Amino acid sequence: DLGIARRIIHAFQTLGVVFGDVGTSPLYTFSVMFSKAPIKGDEDVIGALSLVLYTLLLVPLVKYVLIVLWANDDGEGGTFALYSLICRHAKVSLLPNQLPSDTRISNFILKLPSPELERSLKIKERLEASLTLKKLLLMLVLAGTSMVIADGVVTPAMSVMSAVGGLKVGVAAIEQDEVVMISVTFLVILFSVQKFGTSQVGLAVGPALFIWFCSLAGIGIYNLIKYDASVLRAFNPVHIYLYFKRNSVNAWYALGGCLLCATGSEAMFADLCYFSVRSIQLTFVFLVLPCLLLGYLGQAAYLTGNLNGAEKHPFFLSIPSGIFWPVLLIANIAALIASRAMTTATFSCIKQSSNLGCFPRLKIIHTSKRLMGQIYIPVINWFLLVGCLVLVCSMSSINEIGNAYGIAELGVMMMTTILVTIVMLLIWRLNIIIVLSFVVFFLGLELTFFSSVLWSVTDGSWVILVFAVIMFVIMYIWNYGSKLKYETEVERKLPMDLMREIGCNLGTIRAPGIGLLYNELAKGVPAIFGHFITTLPAIHSMVIFVCIKYVPVPVVPQNERFFFRRVCPKSYHLFRCIARYGYKDVRKENHQAFEQLLIESLEKLIRREAQQRQLESDGDEDADSEEDTSFSRVLVDPNGSVYSLGVPLLA
């Protein structure tokens, strides 16, 4: 259990890493909404406020904080974590390297029978039997991940430009080109400090976000008292109906801007690997949500008394003049922090997709020695920076960027809804009425928002769609190539009959030592070994075929890392070793340490075999046992090579 001091530190880190995105949404939500549906009177302000309040309560709070966060894979969040969770309960992976031994890993949790078990088994059988459903499921996951990456581009651009745009309120002479230049400078600084890690940066910026949320609440309360506390009637949902009745099509257009108040909801789930579910839930419910509600209520109260031109920058205009510049400074700091929320989420998604064979392998730097989930990917970091700069320089206003923002956010939200529905049916085994209520309500709500933002594609949103499609194609092709490569190796593997026929040749010249042959086959003898024994004058006395394999669990316990079995007759001294990793595991770059652990695991296997034969022989002396035991005596040479002692040559 964490102490009080540690809990406070975690709370500050949670603010700095997870809630920056949703925390800065008051900077731009109303301005984007009113650019699509101009204010005609106080009732329009109340109607728009009611839309925002219920969007905040339904999407970030009910859907994500109360439901989706629990669909984590042993503390890991995001679309690929959901996919891994589904793969663990049904054989839906397109890569045919699953083994029965994978299910014996302790992290594979088997549930007891329940009334919904029969339905769950039927869904499982249907998914496993249909190649079309497997491909469709993978495409949903890849689409969601591509939208998260696209979100990682548009979030910094939107947050920083909206915060810097506040200078126009304080200094009338500031032009849009100058806002763009300042935004570019801030973005370069932001991505340059990303390498310092989440815990260091999170601890530094957590207090800054705390001040920001307190500022939102304080300004909101001030405006409620000074202007119009009657805006609290917006909690009555009937004002949403009246808003649509008065504005019809324009109100529907405004839905795309309204959704921006819920941006960062997916980041809460994707960044789950950094913090616990409970810490995120408590921080959101008791600090983030109340401050956001007060912030929006305060802006609406100000607008009811200042309708002329205030809708362009409602947040900055609602700040009391005496504290304008300090709040502007805090807003820009908060915007920079918000930009990190989706960046860290993108790093997590890329790592997960790479480990599950859906993205090229990239250099991953672990920024914390204690928490292995805290990572930094240099290539992706600079790739996101370039994308942000292109977006900021090519779009003239936050309204255009807001259109792209809505499409990226809604895309990943809908994919998450579908995947969580599958988790509810297959794994949680909830009552069908509860599941249908969830999917019909939230998917229907998100499709309604999506229908609104689709009309803004011609206003610049197509850029982010093209970006997402490119990422989707890259991931799908990489997954298809990985699958094709594995299937080719399976087709070319050496038949066991052939291995038995050439068995006499295996023993002609066997040099002392242990040879490790790395390949991707989870079973069988790789074709390259046939090339070795026909062209090389000698092979090692013991040969181990090593396969590095990722299984659909977050972490594989160290004592279950290596799975051994013999290949061919025992006298051939050929072994298959599968080194199993979860998608959250850290692969050590020290090859000598890896090989030493591998040899130690093999030693345990051979000793167990020897002990078993000794028991079967009822205590009689067994020559084979002594011979096998000699294989287990291994040393590490000063130059780093692993060799064995006392390995007999085979005649």
**Residue 650 pLDDT:** 34
**Residue 101 pLDDT:** 63
Answer whether 152's CB lies under 8 Å from 349's CB: no
β-partners of residue 636 are 642
Assigned CATH topology for domain 4-97+121-480: Amino acid/polyamine transporter I (1.20.1740)
Q: Where in the chain is the domain with CATH 1.20.1740.10?
A: 4-97+121-480
Residue 65's pLDDT band (boundaries 50, 70, 90)?
A: very high
**Residue 50 pLDDT:** 96
Return the minimum-mean-pLDDT range out of 253-262, 385-394, 473-482, 586-595: 586-595
**Residue 593 pLDDT:** 80
**Residue 505 pLDDT:** 56
Overall size of the chain counted in residues: 651
**Residue 291 pLDDT:** 96
Q: Is the pLDDT of residue 233 over 60?
A: yes
Q: Is the pLDDT of residue 270 over 90?
A: no
Residue 635's pLDDT band (boundaries 50, 70, 90)?
A: very low
- Contacts of residue 158, Cβ cutoff 8 Å, sequence gap at least 6: 28, 263, 398, 401, 402, 405
**Residue 207 pLDDT:** 83
Residue 619's pLDDT band (boundaries 50, 70, 90)?
A: low
Please spell the DSSP secondary structure of 260-314, one letter per residue: GGGTTHHHHHHGGGGS-HHHHHHHIIIIIHHHHHHHHHHHHHHHHH--SSGGGSH
Residue 366's pLDDT band (boundaries 50, 70, 90)?
A: confident
Answer whether 380's CB lies under 8 Å from 350's CB: yes
Better-predicted residue by pLDDT, 398 or 630: 398
The order of strands in the sheet holding 562-567 is: 510-519, 539-551, 574-582, 562-567
**Residue 1 pLDDT:** 45
34-47 pLDDT per residue, tens: 988 888 888 999 99
Mean confidence (pLDDT) of the chain: 82
Q: Is the pLDDT of residue 69 over 60?
A: yes
- Select from 574, 491, 494, 587 the least CA-distant residue to 548: 587
Better-predicted residue by pLDDT, 113 or 344: 344
Assign residue 78 a region (left: φ > 0; alpha: ψ between -120 and 50; beta: otherwise): left
Q: Which of 110-119, 382-391, 392-401 has the highest mean pLDDT?
A: 382-391
Q: Is the pLDDT of residue 647 over 60?
A: no
Q: Is the pLDDT of residue 508 over 60?
A: no
- 3-state SS, residue 518: strand
Query: What's the rounded mean pLDDT across residues 390-401?
Result: 82
Answer whether 144's CB lies under 8 Å from 415's CB: yes
**Residue 96 pLDDT:** 66
Return the minimum-mean-pLDDT range out of 61-75, 93-107, 358-372, 534-548: 93-107
Residue 107's pLDDT band (boundaries 50, 70, 90)?
A: low
Q: Is the pLDDT of residue 271 over 60?
A: yes
CA 598 – CA 561 distance, rounded (Å): 9
Q: Is the pLDDT of residue 571 over 80?
A: no
Question: pTM here?
Answer: 0.82
**Residue 299 pLDDT:** 94
**Residue 441 pLDDT:** 97
Query: 501: part of which helix (H) or strand (E)?
Result: helix 496-501
CA 422 – CA 225 distance, rounded (Å): 47
Q: Is the pLDDT of residue 363 over 60?
A: yes
Q: Is the pLDDT of residue 74 over 70?
A: yes
Query: Is residue 309 classed exposed, middle or buried when 0-12, 13-18 and 19+ CB atoms within 10 A define those classes?
Result: exposed
CA 52-55-61 angle, to 5 degrees, is 125
CA 170 – CA 516 distance, rounded (Å): 68
324-335 pLDDT per residue, tens: 999 999 999 888
Q: Is the pLDDT of residue 518 over 50?
A: yes
CA 358 – CA 463 distance, rounded (Å): 23
Q: Is the pLDDT of residue 477 over 90?
A: yes
CA 80 – CA 35 distance, rounded (Å): 36
Q: Which of 80-84, 567-571, 646-650 has the highest mean pLDDT?
A: 80-84
**Residue 624 pLDDT:** 44
Residue 302's pLDDT band (boundaries 50, 70, 90)?
A: very high
Q: Is the pLDDT of residue 336 over 80?
A: yes
- 3-state SS, residue 376: strand
Query: What's the rounded mean pLDDT across residues 89-117?
Result: 64
Query: What's the rounded mean pLDDT across residues 567-585?
Result: 83
Residue 470's pLDDT band (boundaries 50, 70, 90)?
A: very high
**Residue 370 pLDDT:** 61
Q: Is the pLDDT of residue 454 over 80?
A: yes
**Residue 651 pLDDT:** 28
**Residue 261 pLDDT:** 94
Residue 633's pLDDT band (boundaries 50, 70, 90)?
A: very low
Better-predicted residue by pLDDT, 143 or 633: 143
- Select from 200, 256, 217, 208 the least CA-distant residue to 20: 208
Better-predicted residue by pLDDT, 29 or 621: 29
Q: Is the pLDDT of residue 2 over 70?
A: no
Output the CA–CA distances (angstroms, integers) from residue 364 to 345, 347, 367, 378, 570, in the order listed: 14, 9, 9, 7, 40
Tokens 């092979």 label which residue?
Answer: 539
- Select from 184, 218, 164 the least CA-distant residue to 333: 164
115-142 pLDDT per residue, tens: 556 777 888 888 888 889 999 999 999 9
- 3-state SS, residue 345: helix
